Amino acid sequence: MPRPNFTAVAEFIFEGFSIFGWQHRLILFVVFLVLYLLTLASNVIILTVIHFNQQLHTPMYFFLSVLSISETCYTVAIIPQMLSSLLSPQQAISIPDCATQLFFYLTFGVNNCFLLTAMGYDRYVAICNPLRYSVIMGKKTCIQLASGSWIIGLSTAIIQVSSVFSLPFCDANIISHFFCDIRPLMKLACADTTIKEFITLLISLGVLVLPMVLIFISYVLIVTTILKIASAEGRKKAFATCASHLTVVVVHYGCTSFIYLKPKSQNSLQDRLISVTYTVITPLLNPVVYSLRNKEVKDALLRALGKKSLS
């Protein structure tokens, strides 16, 4: 129950990186701005190259296109606010705007988790069942997997935002973060949050652990199949098709799991710095590692620039 004498909060204030001095914040601003612009540019390049190249109209690149769109929306929901707060600390945000930011953050973040799972399944079918790949991974299946990811993301966001903002907020209004996230908001509630924290933990297990388990199973089967390939060159090529996806998965799930599955932390600055990894760095890592290092994408890009393909 809320305290009998309290002042209802009308807006929140981001603590962000205000602990740092002006010079350090300016350096962070420049670094994060460059990473943000690179993320937007690389995703636009990927979408353009895939759209105009018929050879890339395959399930693998369909999921990459959807992931690029989702990652772009994900970064737009968070990074502009963070950049603004670096230049002008202690910025205020209204409760409706905070709820909106949390909604989009969760929608696209959870969607990304399940898109990576769908990509893992795509690699599993391509390597373990290549003769039936075009049948299993047909257009209908790809659309269903992508739509399912969006639906899970939207459902999770609706449940979590409704749960958090049904809490009373009074007196304390400084969010120990650079965007509206679940745990920092719950710390400000002037009511018992035990049940809602338990619900959040269950949902986190569902949207983080379940996809990780499915991807792990896919890769156990993939590795088993690859080891049966007689040709060393064939094994190398098969591993190469999975290496980029596995790199992105490890970084993405490693950082988000550390934040959302660990016990309560009193070190909010440490949490903020770790959050930078999956809100700023990982969205750039996805297009760079997964696509721009991919020979087919690079060949298509070189052709679009009027240059010879890689040999």
The residue among 38, 17, 39, 19 whose CA lies nearest residue 28 is: 17
Q: Where are the alpha helices (DSSP H) in 165-261?
A: 182-186, 194-204, 210-227, 232-260
**Given this model, what pLDDT does residue 79 score?**
93
* Residues 158-193: tens digit of each pLDDT: 999 999 999 888 878 888 888 898 888 998 888 888
Query: Average pLDDT of 142-160?
Result: 95
* Residues 225-246: tens digit of each pLDDT: 888 877 777 777 777 767 777 7
Token pair, residue 182, equals 């679940």
Which residue type sits at 109? G
Q: Count of CB atoms within 10 A of residue 15's CB?
A: 20
Average pLDDT over the chain, rounded to whole?
84
Q: What is the DSSP string of 223-241?
A: HHHHHT-S-HHHHHHHHHH
Between CA 136 and CA 159 the distance in angstroms is: 33
Q: Which helix (H) or strand (E) holds 142?
A: helix 139-164
Between CA 133 and CA 185 the distance in angstroms is: 45
* Among the ranges given (26-30, 171-175, 183-187, 264-268), the one the predictor scored with the smallest mean pLDDT: 264-268
Token pair, residue 129, equals 């069942």
Query: Average pLDDT of 86-90?
Result: 84
**Given this model, what pLDDT does residue 151 score?**
96
Query: Average pLDDT of 89-99?
Result: 88
**DSSP character for 19?**
T
Burial annotation 74-83 (CB, 10 A radius, 16+ → b, else e): bbebbbebbb
**DSSP character for 4?**
S
